[in-house]
């Protein structure tokens, strides 16, 4: 029908504008946050742009949900404000006739949200963590500048001095390493060659052809030893992120196969996102009601409150599933069912604007239309 095509067309253009605005605002906010963390050294400077990209992918499902919800609310509120809905109802038509065009608009969003949340988002989260860790390691090694004394390491800080160094290969020549032990002794190492590399969960420095000195400063009891090869542990727990170690990075297929409550909670959340697109699209139909005579847009505030209650309710149930208080299937449906029943009631009420709240509630309980 003509009104359906026009309605979907208007929704599409509105959705594009809303998505762009939300994306710009949220990305700008995250960019400022990451730049602040990079300035304090918590994030590698080279990783900021890539992390913003991965973060944007991870935020896409929520952006799509908000875009669909706000677009429908905006367009239908204008229809009420311009009395188009009044004409529609006075012609003997029902608000139920808007459900089909709403679903034509919302279902593609739901499918896209399902694809992103179940397939793309875990991969993006994993790559984001992996990329940040790799750049952090690389940035730590890049602190070694030829001809400059640098202290590296948190648990076992050492002062390094090198004559030449290649950060990409990790090869260095003519090294000086100094470390102060807890008992007050100092260790000094000279080596002609060295190589920084990763060994499992450890980052190590392999030294070749050098001398090792150990003793208390100011005393003549220094011990001297030559070596052909020596290995120093620079830091531990620097392995690349394993996607199976974090619930946000684990593939959805692995979530289905796992019996752990924490993974079941994550699966419930990913399945709930596309379902919430459809439920919120339906909720937007009665929540968009606007009385032109009052001039107050209270419906927007109510719509925001409903969205927050819905999302917080899903988060609360997810926590219950994660803690093992309720099983997976019991946690998946209740919030969606409550919101759907609320939609049915509000639709019945807004389909008859002149009827009182009590009349609609009574008729709904008795099963009358």
pLDDT at 294: 64
- Chain mean pLDDT for the chain: 80
pLDDT, tens digit, for every residue of 93-104?
A: 778 888 888 999
Q: For 271-319, write each residue's pLDDT tens digit.
A: 999 999 999 999 999 888 877 666 566 778 888 999 999 999 999 999 9
Residue-wise pLDDT for 248-259, tens only, equals: 778 888 888 888
pLDDT at 126 over 60: yes
SS3 helix, strand, coil % of the chain, rounded to 5? 60, 15, 20
The fraction of the chain above a pLDDT of 70, given in percent, is 79
Whether the per-residue pLDDT at 44 is higher than 80: the answer is no
CA distances from 255 to 249, 320, 335, 360 (A): 10, 17, 21, 43
Contacts of 255 (CB under 8 A, 6+ apart): 263, 264, 266, 267, 270
> For residues 72 and 285, is the Cβ–Cβ distance under 8 A?
yes
Q: pLDDT, tens digit, for every residue of 81-94?
A: 877 777 777 777 77
Residue 137 neighbours by CB under 8 Å, 6+ apart: 198, 203, 238
| Euclidean distance between CA atoms 326 and 304, whole angstroms | 28
For residues 6-11, give the mean pLDDT: 87
The predicted-structure confidence for 171-213, as pLDDT tens digits, reads as follows: 888 888 888 877 778 888 899 888 877 776 677 778 888 888 8
Q: Give the pLDDT band of residue 67 (cuts 50, 70, 90).
A: very high
The Cα–Cα gap between 153 and 4 comes to 64
Do 22 and 67 contact (CB within 8 A), yes or no? Answer: yes
Residue-wise DSSP of 206-243: EEEEEEEEEE-TTSS--EEEEEEEEEEEEEES-PPPPG
Q: What is the model's pLDDT at position 361?
A: 59
Half-sphere exposure of 63 (CA within 13 A, CB side): 22
């Amino acid at each position: 029908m003509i009104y359906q095509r026009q309605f979907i067309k208007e929704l599409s253009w509105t959705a594009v504008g809303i998505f762009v605005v939300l994306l710009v605002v949220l990305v700008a906010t995250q960019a400022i946050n990451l730049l602040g963390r990079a300035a304090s050294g918590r994030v590698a400077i080279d990783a900021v742009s890539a992390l913003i990209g991965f973060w944007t992918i991870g935020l896409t499902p929520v952006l799509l949900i908000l875009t669909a919800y706000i677009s429908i609310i905006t367009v239908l509120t204008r229809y009420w404000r311009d009395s188009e809905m009044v004409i529609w109802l006075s012609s003997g038509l029902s608000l139920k006739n808007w459900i089909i065009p709403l679903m034509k608009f919302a279902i593609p969003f739901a499918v896209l949200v399902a694809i992103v949340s179940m397939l793309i988002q875990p991969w993006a989260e994993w790559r984001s963590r992996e990329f940040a860790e790799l750049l952090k390691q690389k940035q730590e090694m890049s602190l070694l500048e030829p001809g400059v004394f640098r202290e590296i390491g948190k648990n076992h800080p050492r002062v390094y001095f090198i004559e030449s160094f290649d950060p990409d290969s990790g090869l260095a020549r003519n090294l000086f390493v100094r470390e102060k032990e807890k008992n007050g002794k100092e260790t000094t190492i000279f080596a002609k060659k060295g190589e920084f590399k990763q060994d499992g969960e450890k980052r190590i420095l392999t030294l070749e052809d050098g001398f090792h000195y150990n003793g208390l400063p100011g005393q003549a009891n220094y011990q001297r030893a030559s070596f052909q090869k020596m290995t120093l542990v620079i830091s531990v727990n620097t392995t690349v992120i394993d996607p199976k170690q974090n619930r946000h990075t684990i593939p959805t297929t692995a979530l289905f196969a796992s019996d752990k409550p924490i993974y079941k909670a994550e699966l419930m959340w990913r399945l709930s996102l596309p379902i919430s697109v459809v439920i919120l699209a339906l909720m937007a139909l009665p929540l968009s009601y606007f009385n032109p005579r009052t001039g107050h847009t209270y419906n927007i505030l109510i719509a925001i409150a409903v969205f927050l209650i819905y999302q917080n309710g899903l988060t609360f149930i997810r926590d219950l599933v994660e803690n093992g208080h309720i099983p997976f299937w019991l946690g998946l449906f209740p919030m969606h069912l409550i919101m759907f029943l609320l939609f049915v009631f509000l639709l019945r009420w807004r389909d008859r604007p002149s009827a009182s709240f009590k009349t609609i509630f009574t008729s709904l309980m008795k099963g009358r239309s």
